[in-house]
Structure 1
C-alpha cells in the first residue's frame, strides 16, 4: 500500500537556517545535506513523487536608515507541478509618517537532489516591487533581504 509520508526536519528552525548565495542579482542557491534526516532508500527518493516545504525569511525597510521588518513564509514545492512564481509575499511597513508602505516579493523556488553528494540544492530567483521605487534585487538592495531559508520537511509518496 502506498501512502504519503511526511518526514520533518530533524533540526530546530534556528539550527536549520542556511544562507542563500547569489550568483546574479536575483538568482541564488542554497544547499542542505541529507545527513541526520532518516530518509528512506535513495531509490525510493529518486523515483517517488515528492513535495518539499521550505521556510523563507525576508526583510524589508523603508530606506537604509530604517529598522528592518522581517517576514517569513513556508513555501511548498512539488517538482511534478512545474510551478512558476511560487514565492509571493506581501510585506507591509509602517513609515515615519504613520502611513503604510508595502513591498511585494515575488519569485521562483526549485529543488533538485544531488545523490552523489547527499544534498538538496535549492534554487531561488527573487525580486521585490517597492512603492515608487524601481524593482529591487536581494543581492544588491539596501532595503530588501532574502538571504536565509530552512528546509522544513519532505513529503514522499511510497
Structure 2
C-alpha cells in the first residue's frame, strides 16, 4: 500500500508529540553530520529547543552554519517527519539570561534540570548552548498498517 503525505498540522503534531529525533547539521566540508538529540517542542509556536555544548560537532556546526533539519521517526521504519526551519544558537554566558531560562525548560522536561541558580552556573561552566528552531517546513510520510 502506498504511503500518503500528511497535512502540515498533522506533521507538526507528530513532531510536538515526541522528544527524540536525529539532528542533521553540516560539517566544515559540507558533509552531513547526524546526532541523536532530545528536544522540546512548543506546540503553540512551532519552535523546537534543544541543548548541546560548543565543543560538540553539532554545536560547532551550528555556530558556523545554521542550516539544519530534524528527523523524527514514526511508529515504524516507513513513518517519519522532517522539520526544517531557521536554527539559532545562544551560548549560556550570564546567569538569568533568556537562553538559560530556555535551557532550564529543556532540561526540566527530561527531569535533568536541578535547582537554580546551580543549574545556571553549570550551564555557563559547561559552555551549554541553546539551539532554537522556528519550524517553517515540515514533510514526512505515513504508511497505514497493512
For the aligned pair, the TM-score class normalised by the smaller chain equals: 0.3 to 0.5
* Greater strand content: 1
Higher RCO by CA contacts (8 Å cutoff, separation 6 or greater) = 1
TM-score by length of 1: 0.32
